[in-house]
Amino acid sequence: MARPVQLAPGSLALVLCRLEAPEAAAAAGAEEPGGRAVFCAFRRANARCFWNSRLARAASRLTFQGWLRRGVLLVHAPPASLQVLRDAWCRRALCPPRGFRIRAVGDVFPVQMNPIAQSQFVPLAEVLCCAVSDMNAAQTVVTQESLLEHLKQHFPGIAIPSQDVLYTTLGTLIKERKIYHTGEGYFIVTPQTYFITNTPPHKNNRDLSDESQRPTCITYLDTESGI
């Protein structure tokens, strides 16, 4: 199992509330400030507390950690500086950024990620579908030869299949109606692709029995490409 990866260190969260309602600010033509702008205003407001040198020094060491919806500002600093901010909040001496009120302050634990391990093997059918889709989007004619060349250039981590394996896998994908083939190459079946089955109406049970032994001819029509 892969070891956890730390994405962000522990930080301090400030839950902010605008002094003016967002609707009123929008009506007045004021733009909604971004997270970094709010952080700069918060740091500037506390760095100007010259009568409290510890708070001013701690504010100057703050770094922007993030901005969450509904007005949550995440800041980071050395442990001693974060403790100064905690103490200032407890003593109601922490200054809010201009235009905001601080509703709450609290500690946020480090953000960690547990990586999910990948298999060493990639299903060939999945790779072929991706390749055909990419080539269709680039309006590149998809033949077996051009498909193999595309795999070599854009999927360097996989083993290039032999011609027989490629032919068999493409045939399976066609049967599963994931791709289809026309005189212009291979195409991905999309929600806009529909099928016309060229089977004549059955007149009686005997005809039904006879027709069931014959292969069904399917025509693939793509409403986007006009095929």
Q: Under the phi-then-psi rule, with left for phi > 0, alpha for psi from -120 to 50, and beta for the rest, what region is 5?
A: beta
- Model pLDDT, residue 22: 55
- CB neighbour class for 75 (10 Å; exposed up to 12, middle 13-18, buried from 19): buried
pLDDT at residue 130, as a whole number? 94
pLDDT given for residue 116 in this prediction: 84
Cβ atoms 139, 184 nearer than 8 A? no
Where are the chain's structural domains? 5-113, 124-188
pLDDT in tens, the chain (227 residues): 567 787 778 889 999 999 876 555 555 455 667 899 999 999 999 999 999 999 999 999 999 999 988 899 999 999 999 999 999 999 999 999 999 999 999 999 888 888 888 777 888 999 999 999 999 999 999 999 999 999 999 988 788 999 999 999 999 999 999 999 998 999 999 988 876 655 555 545 444 444 443 444 454 555 555 44
Say if residues 61 and 81 touch (Cβ distance below 8 Å): yes
Quick count: other Cβ atoms within 10 Å of Cβ 27? 9
Decide if domain 124-188 falls under CATH 3.40.640.10. Answer: no
Q: Give dist(CA 123, CA 129) in Å, integer.
A: 10
Q: What is the largest CA-CA distance in the chain?
A: 102
pLDDT on residue 201: 52
